[in-house]
Each structure stands twice: as structure tokens, then as C-alpha cells.
Amino acid sequence: PWPAGDSEAVPRDELLGRPAIKLLVRLAGASSDAMASALREVLGGALDVTFSTGHGLVEVSAPGVTKGSGLATVATELGVEAGEVVAFGDMPNDLAMLAWAGCGVAMANAHPAVLDTCDEVTAPNGEDGLALVLERWF
């Protein structure tokens, strides 16, 4: 079971009989970067592999099921163009969203992959980095 206590252990057959949107793979003490790299090598492009923490937890989903695709769907329904969107992120699971948005902003404490691909970098989470950017826009 998950450390937070909001999960349950079920038999494998029961688990595999349920529909899955996302699979979380956890290995205590492992690096999420290393886990994601190993999974990508095995899976190729068959599934999307990403992570939101560096502490041994990786997210696996169907190809194209990302924060970016979700944001694009919502924006389309609202009639908002990508160029009108600012997105904030700090981990690899934010990369597709930051790439899709007209302005992708990384927090200063972001994962190196996020810092390398964003449009700009703001102050860290704990120093109101998001608010500093929003004050310029609004």
C-alpha cells in the first residue's frame, strides 16, 4: 500500500481486470530519472513515461496522454489559443504542457530538463515565483 494510507492492496487478477489511465511504478530508494530511462529503453514509444518526483516514482500512460494534451483539449473547448496560455512547471511531467503553451515558465528549482526547454525561469516555488509572473500578465 501507498505510504499516505489512501490505497489498498488487491490481487493481481483484480487489478489487471480494471481499466487504467495511468500506471505508477514505485521503487523505494531509486532515482526517478534512472527508472524513467530504463522504462523508455524497454517500452520505446509504446507508452509515455514521465515523473513528478525524483524519489523513485514513475508515471506510465498511453502515448499522447499528457498535461499538454489535457491543456490543449480544455483550451480548445474554451476557445483559447496556445499563444494565449501561460503554463508553469517544475518536473518532466510538465514538459508537454510547457511546450504547448504560448509561454512555458519553469520554477527556478525545476528539474534540469524543464529548465533547458522553458521560455523563461521564475523564482522557486517557495519564493512566489508563480505570483511574480502572473503580476506581469495581469
Domain housing 30: 12-61
Whether 133 is covered by a domain: the verdict is yes
pLDDT in single tens digits along all 138 residues of the chain: 456 667 777 888 887 888 888 889 999 999 999 999 999 999 998 999 999 999 999 999 999 999 999 999 999 999 999 999 999 999 999 999 999 999 999 999 999 999 999 999 999 989 999 999 999 978
Strand 48-50 to 120-122 pairing:
unpaired
Pairwise CA distance, residues 101 & 8, whole Å: 37
Q: What is the pTM of this model?
A: 0.85
113 and 78 co-located in one domain: yes
Domain tally, the chain: 2
Pairwise CA distance, residues 19 & 62, whole Å: 12
The pLDDT tens digits of the residues spanning 14-33 come to 878 888 888 899 999 999 99
114 and 72 co-located in one domain: yes
**pLDDT of the residue at 8:** 77
Whether 118 is covered by a domain: the verdict is yes
Whether 88 is covered by a domain: the verdict is yes
Give φ, ψ of 95 to 5 degrees.
Answer: -60, -45
**pLDDT of the residue at 86:** 96
52 and 92 co-located in one domain: no
**pLDDT of the residue at 5:** 67
